[in-house]
Amino acid sequence: MMMASVTTAAPLDVRVYLADPIVKDQIQRGEATAERIDTIKYQFEQAGTYQVPELSFDWWDVEASELKRIVLPGNTFTVEGSKVAAESTSGLPDFRWRLAILVVGLLVIWTVTKLLSAWRLRYNRPEQIAARQLLAACLANAPSDAYSALMQWQRLIGGARQASDLKALPSVGDAPSLEAEQAVLAQYLFGGESAQGAWSGKRLAATFAQTRRRLSLVDRKQRATCSLPQLNP
């Protein structure tokens, strides 16, 4: 409390705000201690370079019984005026670019999400699952599983196509039709040929893949020729 007040010397165009000092006294186990906090705020009103002077504090050291001084060094501050305003004005185009990038990014995310959703719906359709099970059974040379998956695929396809479309498509070159391969598989399972040797699903897998591709071509041609719905379906 007995320390001298802090000096408020400052250059021209610099305002100094000195807060009331905070003094804390406490006694702990018979030992008294005291603390004082001074806060100084500088406000630079115009652009330029300012040299804030150093601050010195004189205090009496009770233990050493002598007067001591502590000096806080000064500092140099450079304040920018019109340049800062120009930078803040030029930041508007940057904001527009960032907004445009954000909008484009959101559109890309939305498009990718829609495509992924459509792909999941197609991938998880029952007929797609049955087709994957059939190909997996052919790869594993498992005739019973292949026959069950083939029958399941035909039932699922039959719910969306006409009966005539479910018939085996004509063979391509020397490749057998799906109907012929199905007959071979049924003969192997139920005609007693399973005891003669192992069954290979390579031919059935190739024929099934070829059949699915041709059915897909038929569907695309039908959509191209019937782009408009019938008036009296």
pLDDT per residue as tens digits for the range 86-109: 455 555 677 788 888 989 999 999
Check residue 111 and give its pLDDT. Answer: 92
Q: What is the mean pLDDT of residues 106-122?
A: 88
Residue 9, SS3?
Answer: coil
Check residue 162 and give its pLDDT. Answer: 46
Check residue 76 and give its pLDDT. Answer: 87
Among candidate residues 1, 13, 8, the one with its CA nearest the CA of residue 55: 8
| CA gap 7, 44 in Å, rounded | 18
pTM of the model: 0.44
Higher pLDDT, 15 or 195: 15
Collect all residues with Cβ–Cβ distance below 8 Å to 233 and sequence separation of at least 6. none
Check residue 108 and give its pLDDT. Answer: 92
- In this prediction, residue 127 has a pLDDT band, given cuts at 50, 70 and 90, of confident
Instruction: Burial-class residue 153 by CB neighbours within 10 Å (0-12, 13-18, 19+).
Output: buried
Check residue 221 and give its pLDDT. Answer: 74
- In this prediction, residue 220 has a pLDDT band, given cuts at 50, 70 and 90, of confident
Mean pLDDT (the chain) is 78
Q: Is the pLDDT of residue 26 over 60?
A: yes
For the record, the structure tokens of 121 come out as 């719906």
Check residue 109 and give its pLDDT. Answer: 92
Residue 139, SS3?
Answer: helix
Check residue 87 and give its pLDDT. Answer: 52
Check residue 176 and give its pLDDT. Answer: 67
Check residue 24 and give its pLDDT. Answer: 85
